[in-house]
């Protein structure tokens, strides 16, 4: 029996390693696609990413990563696990009966409903203890696997998702933890949830519209993010109408819900890189049109900030290099980024710089882009000359110097080269 959590961590480390290698590879391939002199290569180093996720998701994440401390993975757990009066199968079946009762008997006497509800809360808590341990005893991997198998076999997953809005807050929270950790459960080496969801993709049509319902939004949001850890689910959502709706979801006036939707949106557009690259290539026109007009030019500071950061993350990802080349060859896109430089917020300016430098670094700049850069040369050079950040960042300084140099020496075909940045600044 494997220890799920340690395996999960290993995978994470591996994928982080891959990411680093990907960037290196990316620089190389970028050089081939858009050949430019070696000094410009450092330009393409991605900014250190400081991802901000909503408090609800991070607390769930913390809870999930607290499960199975490392030592639990090497010990034989059987001795530690206090046997429960009921087997996982009984637990799941009883939970299922209660859920069916609550789902179907909406007319029952209040008293009876309350009794059933409190029984259900206890069951959910018991399942939570099986999966997470009780603070003293660690969870028993066999019991976890057994519970997961029963849970998915009888479609209790769907029932619990559908009934979540009816539970009181405490039970709902514990149920969310149960539903989330089940996504990472392996049975016989396979992620059992992934196989289940593959046949039940329509559950995302229950979860994602949760963003339109203030009461359940954060709960369903947290579960959605766990579900899209499975590539098959992410692909389904990327191919759905929900991608358009996210433009609205992440601007919902309720800050917590908007942040949660933002985290899910970011997860969809960054986690499964080959799927994301396929999505962006196939949906380039409407997606970036909406992204530019609704997000990058949103009246909301927070939306603009997240949008320009995520744009940088997407474009600097090696697997999206074709999309990046396309994006930075558009004058319209560059205009939007140049306007974002005017944003009063330093964070936005800095993240804008990390995208803007790609337009400048492109060695196959279309004539209209060269023309605008040359026309606005003195303004840009003055702005970049004064542009500084609070902390020391050698990479940023090196990138900035390269961008300045590139802009200063740009020439429109037929015009004489300007070799000295100071000369250029006084030029009209």
Ligand X SMILES: *[C@@H]1O[C@H](CO)[C@@H](O)[C@H](O)[C@H]1NC(C)=O
Which positions lie near ligand X, rule CB under 6 A? 121, 125, 128, 170-171, 174, 301, 335, 338, 345-347, 372, 375-376
Cα 426 to Cα 420: distance, rounded to the nearest angstrom? 11
User: Smallest gap, in angstroms, from Cβ of residue 54 to ligand X?
Assistant: 16
- Is 294 or 347 the residue whose CB approaches ligand X more closely? 347
Cα 101 to Cα 99: distance, rounded to the nearest angstrom? 5
Cα distances from 186 to residues 5, 141, 144, 358, in angstroms, run 10, 9, 9, 42
Cα 428 to Cα 420: distance, rounded to the nearest angstrom? 15
Q: Are 298 and 251 in contact (CB under 8 A)?
A: yes
- Is 12 or 335 the residue whose CB approaches ligand X more closely? 335
- Is 120 or 280 the residue whose CB approaches ligand X more closely? 120
- Is 128 or 235 the residue whose CB approaches ligand X more closely? 128
Residue nearest to ligand X (CB): 170
Cα 73 to Cα 61: distance, rounded to the nearest angstrom? 19
User: Smallest gap, in angstroms, from Cβ of residue 122 to ligand X?
Assistant: 7
Tokens 């029932």 found at? 159
Residues constituting the chain: 428
User: Smallest gap, in angstroms, from Cβ of residue 185 to ligand X?
Assistant: 18
Cα distances from 105 to residues 116, 156, 206, in angstroms, run 11, 17, 21
Q: 282: which residues sit within 8 A by CB, 6+ positions away?
A: none
- Is 38 or 50 the residue whose CB approaches ligand X more closely? 50
User: Smallest gap, in angstroms, from Cβ of residue 47 to ligand X?
Assistant: 14
Burial of 119: CB neighbours in 10 Å, binned 0-12, 13-18, 19+: middle
User: Smallest gap, in angstroms, from Cβ of residue 88 to ligand X?
Assistant: 18
Q: 54: which residues sit within 8 A by CB, 6+ positions away?
A: 218, 221, 256, 259, 260, 262, 263
- Is 276 or 424 the residue whose CB approaches ligand X more closely? 424
Tokens 């997470």 found at? 132
User: Smallest gap, in angstroms, from Cβ of residue 12 to ligand X?
Assistant: 25
Q: Are 258 and 221 in contact (CB under 8 A)?
A: no
Closest CA to 219 of 421, 57, 419: 57
User: Smallest gap, in angstroms, from Cβ of residue 8 to ligand X?
Assistant: 21
Closest CA to 427 of 370, 368, 381: 381
Two structure tokens written together for 411: 């020439």
- Is 174 or 402 the residue whose CB approaches ligand X more closely? 174
- Is 234 or 355 the residue whose CB approaches ligand X more closely? 355
User: Smallest gap, in angstroms, from Cβ of residue 124 to ligand X?
Assistant: 6
User: Smallest gap, in angstroms, from Cβ of residue 95 to ligand X?
Assistant: 13
Helix residue spans in 183-283 (DSSP H): 192-198, 204-207, 217-227, 231-238, 242-249, 255-270, 273-282
Q: Are 230 and 157 in contact (CB under 8 A)?
A: no
- Is 126 or 317 the residue whose CB approaches ligand X more closely? 126
User: Smallest gap, in angstroms, from Cβ of residue 402 to ligand X?
Assistant: 20
- Is 128 or 318 the residue whose CB approaches ligand X more closely? 128
User: Smallest gap, in angstroms, from Cβ of residue 117 to ligand X?
Assistant: 10
Closest CA to 360 of 311, 309, 409: 409
- Is 7 or 393 the residue whose CB approaches ligand X more closely? 393
Q: 38: which residues sit within 8 A by CB, 6+ positions away?
A: none
């Amino acid at each position: 029996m494997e220890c799920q959590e340690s395996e999960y961590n290993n995978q994470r480390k591996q994928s982080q390693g891959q990411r680093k290698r990907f960037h290196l590879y990316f620089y190389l391939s970028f050089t081939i696609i858009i050949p430019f002199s070696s000094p410009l290569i450092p330009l393409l180093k991605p900014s250190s990413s400081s991802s901000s996720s909503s408090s609800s998701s991070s607390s769930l994440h913390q809870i999930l990563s607290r499960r199975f401390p490392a030592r639990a993975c090497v010990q034989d757990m059987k001795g530690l696990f206090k046997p429960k009066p009921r087997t996982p199968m009984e637990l799941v079946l009883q939970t299922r009966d209660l859920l069916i009762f609550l789902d179907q008997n909406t007319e029952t006497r209040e008293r009876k409903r309350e009794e059933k509800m409190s029984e259900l809360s206890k069951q959910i808590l018991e399942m939570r203890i099986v999966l997470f341990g009780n603070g003293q005893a660690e969870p028993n991997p066999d019991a976890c696997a057994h519970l997961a198998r029963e849970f998915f076999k009888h479609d209790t997953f769907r029932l619990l998702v559908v009934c979540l809005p009816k539970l009181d807050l405490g039970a709902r929270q514990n149920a969310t933890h149960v539903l989330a950790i089940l996504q990472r459960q392996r049975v016989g080496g396979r992620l059992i949830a992934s196989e289940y969801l593959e046949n039940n993709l329509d559950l995302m049509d229950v979860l994602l519209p949760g963003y339109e319902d203030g009461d359940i939004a954060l709960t369903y949001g947290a579960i959605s993010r766990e579900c899209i850890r499975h590539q098959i689910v992410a692909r389904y959502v990327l191919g759905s109408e929900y991608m358009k709706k996210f433009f609205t979801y992440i601007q919902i006036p309720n800050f917590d819900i908007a942040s949660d939707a933002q985290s899910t949106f970011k997860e969809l557009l960054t986690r499964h890189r080959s799927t994301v690259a396929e999505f962006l290539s196939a949906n380039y026109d409407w997606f970036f049109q909406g992204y530019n007009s609704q997000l990058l030019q949103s009246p909301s500071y927070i939306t603009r900030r997240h949008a320009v950061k995520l744009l940088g993350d997407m474009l600097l990802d090696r697997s999206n290099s074709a999309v990046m080349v396309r994006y930075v060859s558009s004058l319209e896109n560059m205009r939007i980024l140049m306007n974002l430089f005017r944003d009063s917020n330093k964070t936005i300016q800095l993240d804008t710089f990390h995208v803007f430098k790609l337009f400048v670094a492109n060695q196959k700049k279309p004539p209209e882009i060269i023309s605008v850069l040359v026309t606005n040369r003195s303004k840009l050079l003055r702005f970049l000359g004064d542009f500084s950040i609070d902390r020391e960042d050698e990479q940023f300084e090196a990138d900035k110097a390269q961008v300045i140099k590139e802009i200063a020496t740009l020439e429109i075909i037929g015009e004489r080269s300007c070799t000295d940045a100071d000369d250029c600044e006084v030029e009209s």
